[in-house]
Amino acid sequence: MITAEAARPDGAEAVAIVTPNHLHLPVALAALEAGMHVISDKPATATLDEALVLQEAVERSGKIYALTYTYTGYAMVRHARAMIAAGAIGSVRKLTVRYAQGWLAEPVENAGNTQAQWRVDPARAGIGGCIGDIGAHAFNMAEYVSGLKVERFVADLATLVSRRDLDDDCNVLMRFVGGAPGVLTASQVATGERNDLQLHIHGTKATLSWNHEDPGSLAVLWPAGKSEILRAGSADIIGPARLPTGHPEGSIEAFANIYSDFAAAVRGNAALVDEQLPGIRAGVRSMRFVERAVRASADGAGWTLLEQRDGAIVAESAA
């Protein structure tokens, strides 16, 4: 398809990659090489090494590359991010992100569920199971909304449904640069859960609380029991509204907001990438987190720095 489109005078300008993880790198490389922009489903690639190869290719190509970290497309997520950047909740003291699903609580990969089959297969999913599939969303959300960067973490990954090769549950303590602590918990074996992504950010002046199962609302908790609920579509909300307030928007609109930003970036507003739209840098960071967390958990490494200049994992004592 890419070869045929590249040969046409009116050929495709951009490619959307929506296949399982192991196909993200080869398709993205082929598209970039043919002069096309790329919008890819997360995670960027199946492994960190692949993500670094892709980063080099994106930078060399000068083309737009964006990742559909869907939750960054919600109006109230962008509003929370803008409030924190403006200092509205003071400085961030602590962050908790929870992502619970239950659809892999039974070995449905053995019962014909094709979406489960590739997700539990290291050859197609990559090195991370739950942590790569939804932990990467949680990690990206934590950094995207808070504006902080994870400096170090302790990871405890588990495989709770027997005979799986990859994790299906993960629990991570984090420290952000500057010292704020964070907790990331993600599971795909949390029986009965649907798609419960929650973000709670505690600042020195107020707490922000967002819950994916009510995505058009953002709670602002002030001291002395005073709470406010901000609603998408209201006049002072930063973040795109397609419908008047009170008309529910959801995942489709969040994806659409990301695709709209991508189109605007392709049409000349390249600064949207990284600023508002996750790009290859966010993709590499998430893959670094996934890969180092998998290894550090397996090794019982304890506190582990996320960034290592020499490329090696160095465990440090909590002190």
The residues of the shown chain that bind ligand NAD, judged by CB under 6 A, are: 18-21, 23, 41-42, 68, 70, 114-115, 118, 133
Classify residue 23 as exposed, middle or buried by CB count within 10 Å of its CB (0-12, 13-18, 19+).
Answer: middle
Instruction: Tell me the pairing of strands 169-176 and 181-187.
Output: antiparallel
Query: Closest separation between CB of residue 18 and ligand NAD, Å?
Result: 5
Residue 69 or residue 303: which is nearer to ligand NAD going by CB? Answer: 69
Residue 15 or residue 301: which is nearer to ligand NAD going by CB? Answer: 15
| Separation of alpha carbons 173 and 250, rounded Å | 30
**Cβ-proximal residue to ligand NAD, closest one:** 41
Query: Closest separation between CB of residue 71 and ligand NAD, Å?
Result: 7
Give residues with Cβ within 8 angstroms of 68, minimum separation 6. Answer: 39, 40, 41, 42, 255, 258, 259
Q: CA 8, 13, 19: angle at the middle one, nearest 5?
A: 105
Query: Closest separation between CB of residue 292 and ligand NAD, Å?
Result: 19
Reading the block at residue 302, the tokens are 């304890």
Residue 19 or residue 191: which is nearer to ligand NAD going by CB? Answer: 19
Query: Closest separation between CB of residue 261 and ligand NAD, Å?
Result: 14
Residue 4 or residue 224: which is nearer to ligand NAD going by CB? Answer: 4
Residue 115 or residue 217: which is nearer to ligand NAD going by CB? Answer: 115
| Separation of alpha carbons 283 and 278, rounded Å | 7
Burial pattern 142-168, b for ≥16 Cβ within 10 A else e, equals bbbbbebebbbbbbebebebeebebbb
Q: CA 170, 175, 178: angle at the middle one, nearest 5?
A: 160
Query: Closest separation between CB of residue 108 and ligand NAD, Å?
Result: 13
Do the beta carbons of residue 153 and residue 304 sit within 8 Å?
yes
Query: Closest separation between CB of residue 63 and ligand NAD, Å?
Result: 20
| Separation of alpha carbons 14 and 32, rounded Å | 9
Residue 118 or residue 259: which is nearer to ligand NAD going by CB? Answer: 118
